[in-house]
Structure 1
């Protein structure tokens, strides 16, 4: 066995076997099956050095999604980077609920506010090619990643830069409003743990009680929804009651919440 083989180079790297395999598959552009069959074959000096660098970053806690440059969401692979939130399975309930809302509508208008990597908007557009989907973000860097994802996945989405509803014309109205805004309270210990340490703080916390962006989105929905339209917002594990109250105070009807796979009330919404 060559001392520069994946097997030898991985022996004392200090990472779980699955993560090691994922890093090598990424670096070599091969499948897991190929890697298992050829992990005793020598790799180039550059590949060995690249693996050592990635392994060191992972040992430091950097998310695998950033190291690999992608994350799967709703069955699609999205490019991600330090400028955007990493798409999570919890957020799929937001997309699934949104799709159910427009299931019986032809050519629905949908907006995803604070799109990040574009995962929500693009997933909607791919599932409903007849929909007119708009995605906004305040960050130019995030919008570049989102546009690239839409291009690579061949999704038809209109991207605009701006702060929440201000990004679109005042007379724009939508059948469906979706958002996964920053909702973690400033000082929450989760911000200094795990992957969150490396993700953009502006996508995680509002710098206050975690309800500031949610309040803005709820308050502005009535002026932005078409008759019968719906808004659905992702929020924290303990914020469902507060978000339902915000939606009710905004003059919207039938506020309710939906649970994620862990049984946590993950999103709340209401209709005009």
Structure 2
């Protein structure tokens, strides 16, 4: 069997994905090729020729991606910060937009020894685990009310612990329960939250509508219901000088800061844009 140029396979994959309406066809084509070859994406130029079975394997994954199966479901992982976590059916896929929220939280923790961090609506555990990776001295708590998400989070937490990261403390609970983490009231340095926030009926790509669990995407009250609960919990948990960072829909650039500002103990309320320049997360400090 004659070896074939990898470059041509990637070009063909890019064409197929572009026709299918995939948002980042070249990137996805390269990531799928790297996945099949078991190499990092940056090493693809060092592999000029591949065997026909490799071409076939790439083609099969590209066909699935063209049907709008999420890239992360095909590769089995998603990145956040300097870690990767396992993802698949039943758990929300971490997004690049959350990188800036994570960065804000880590900056807040600079100079704080043994900080206490709480990740509300943890899903796959990505935010909590990314913090634990960067701050081995932190005591990181994470909570979710969905058993499937918690199973993914537990798997990811165990995997990160095996790699040497500080274990996180994972709990089942609802962000609206005013007794959740009651023992931490007034003791927390940082609360992070990426809640469900899309208004019901919002237009979303097939990768989200068909694959992300609805309870992790949509929220009532125009998308603000869970955000309100998370803000109330954060106001209770934070110590003076502690910080809150919570992600929101790009239509909530005014509404989300207003919800936070309504809590008089939360000050220095600011909204932040994501990598595409859209309103994406709000931050505050505990007075």
TM-score over 0.5 for the alignment?
yes
The answer to whether the aligner puts 1:81 opposite 2:88 as a matched pair is: yes
Quote how far apart the aligned CAs of 1:17 are.
5.7
Give the aligned partner of residue 67 of structure 2.
60
Cα 1:57–1:41 shift into 2, 3 Å = closer
Which residues in structure 2 correspond to 1:57-136 (within 5 Å)?
A: 57-136=64-143
* Rounded Cα–Cα distance in structure 2 between residues aligned with 1:267 and 1:137: 20
Cα 1:18–1:175 shift into 2, 3 Å = closer
Cα 1:95–1:31 shift into 2, 3 Å = closer
Cα 1:38–1:256 shift into 2, 3 Å = closer
Deviates more, 1:216-225 or 1:24-33: 24-33
Quote how far apart the aligned CAs of 1:230 are.
1.9
* Rounded Cα–Cα distance in structure 1 between residues aligned with 2:61 and 2:4: 16
* Rounded Cα–Cα distance in structure 2 between residues aligned with 1:18 and 1:103: 34
CA contact (8 A) 1:134 1:159 kept: yes
Give the aligned partner of residue 199 of structure 1.
212
What 5-or-longer segments of structure 1 have no aligned partner?
A: none
Give the aligned partner of residue 267 of structure 1.
281
Quote how far apart the aligned CAs of 1:175 are.
1.6
Cα 1:243–1:9 shift into 2, 3 Å = closer
Equivalent in 178, 181, 184 of residue 169 of structure 1: 181
Which residues in structure 2 correspond to 1:1-272 (within 5 Å)?
A: 2=2, 14-15=16-17, 16=25, 18-30=27-39, 33=43, 37=47, 39-43=49-53, 48=56, 51=58, 53-154=60-161, 155=165, 156-164=167-175, 166=177, 168-173=180-185, 174-190=188-204, 193-197=205-209, 198-251=211-264, 252-272=266-286
Quote how far apart the aligned CAs of 1:4 are.
9.7
| SS at 1:171 equivalent | helix
- TM-score for both structures, normalised by structure 2: 0.81
Moved over 6 A (4+): 3-13
CA contact (8 A) 1:221 1:231 kept: yes
- TM-score for both structures, normalised by structure 1: 0.85
Cα 1:35–1:145 shift into 2, 3 Å = farther
CA contact (8 A) 2:269 2:283 kept: yes
| SS at 1:96 equivalent | helix
